[in-house]
């Protein structure tokens, strides 16, 4: 387990990705990239669009660089740190503070990765990952990122309780736009609020509550403390989630017990005598 300190100074317990999982994810991405390069190579050689060998070689080198640099940059930026390989093994690239990876960070990782993984056959990446306490390779150090395992165990306290004075308000709030990373940050803050001094607890809660209010409407009643507001949001979200699970279970049970009635036999029309 590793501790990440978010921009709101909340400590998150996450599991740093282990080297074997990262290597397996890299191999999956490598297969995808090699397949793309081979496909374009076959297309160029069969169509003979470029007749100049020098120009064709230059274009292939340019395309190889674009594939091996552009693929990780685009995939990690658009999917919040998940390439196909990382998605297959439950890994994700995040910032050192647990925030989603930025385009700038993904670009630094990809440029450094092209050197340490391909030009230097991965030796610097393996050595650096073994030395680093968080399993970082050189690209992660330059970009200020790390790779975490989303399937690893996370410490979680008891679910937050609904403040009675906010139950009516919480029943009508809109929660569909609330991002998962912010939910996890708020949950970690609620679980560790007792460990903080009153001043730090108030400051942290105000920051996280301000970010949460940008996605949750309507706003809470005036004068609501940040801790109570976040507890109400998380408790209401959990209540709605449990309700959906209950309805699905009841629907499956009803579907399993339902026996369709036999179709009534059609009445045979009386014969006519002519």
Model pLDDT, residue 208: 93
Model pLDDT, residue 7: 42
Model pLDDT, residue 165: 94
Model pLDDT, residue 130: 86
User: Would you give the end-to-end CA distance of the chain in angstroms?
Assistant: 92
In terms of Cβ atoms closer than 10 Å to its own Cβ (0-12, 13-18, 19+), residue 144 is middle
Model pLDDT, residue 84: 93
Q: Among all chains, which residue has been given the structure tokens 């990122």?
A: 145
Model pLDDT, residue 212: 94
* Sheet with strand 91-95: strands edge to edge: 2-5, 11-16, 145-149, 91-95
* Grouped pLDDT means (10 residues each) for the chain, 274 residues: 44 70 93 89 68 74 88 92 92 83 93 91 89 87 89 63 94 90 85 83 91 94 94 93 86 72 49 46
Domain range annotation of the chain: 2-149, 164-255
């Amino acid at each position: 387990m590793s501790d990440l300190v978010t921009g709101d100074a909340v400590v998150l317990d996450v599991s740093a990705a282990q080297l074997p999982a990262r290597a397996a994810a890299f191999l999956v991405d490598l297969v995808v990239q090699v397949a793309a390069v081979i496909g374009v190579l076959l297309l160029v050689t069969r169509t003979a669009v470029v007749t100049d060998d020098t120009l064709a070689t230059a274009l292939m080198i340019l395309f190889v660089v674009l594939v091996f640099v552009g693929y990780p940059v685009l995939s990690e930026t658009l999917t919040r740190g998940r390439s196909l390989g990382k998605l297959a093994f439950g890994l994700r690239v995040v910032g050192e503070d647990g925030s989603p990876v930025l385009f700038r960070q993904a670009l630094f990782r990809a440029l450094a990765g092209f050197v340490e993984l391909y030009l230097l056959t991965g030796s610097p990446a393996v050595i650096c990952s073994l030395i680093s306490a968080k399993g970082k390779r050189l690209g992660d150090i330059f970009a200020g990122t790390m790779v975490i395992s989303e399937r690893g165990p996370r410490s979680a306290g008891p679910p937050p309780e609904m403040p009675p004075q906010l139950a009516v308000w919480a029943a009508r709030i809109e929660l569909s736009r609330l991002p998962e990373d912010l939910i996890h940050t708020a949950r970690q803050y609620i679980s560790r609020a007792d460990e903080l001094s009153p001043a730090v607890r108030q400051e942290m809660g105000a920051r996280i509550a301000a970010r949460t209010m940008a996605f949750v409407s309507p706003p809470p009643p005036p004068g609501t403390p940040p801790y109570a507001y976040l507890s109400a949001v998380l408790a209401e979200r959990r209540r709605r989630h449990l309700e959906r699970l209950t309805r699905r279970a009841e629907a499956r049970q009803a579907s399993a017990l339902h026996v369709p009635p036999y179709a009534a036999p059609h009445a045979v029309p009386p014969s006519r005598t002519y």
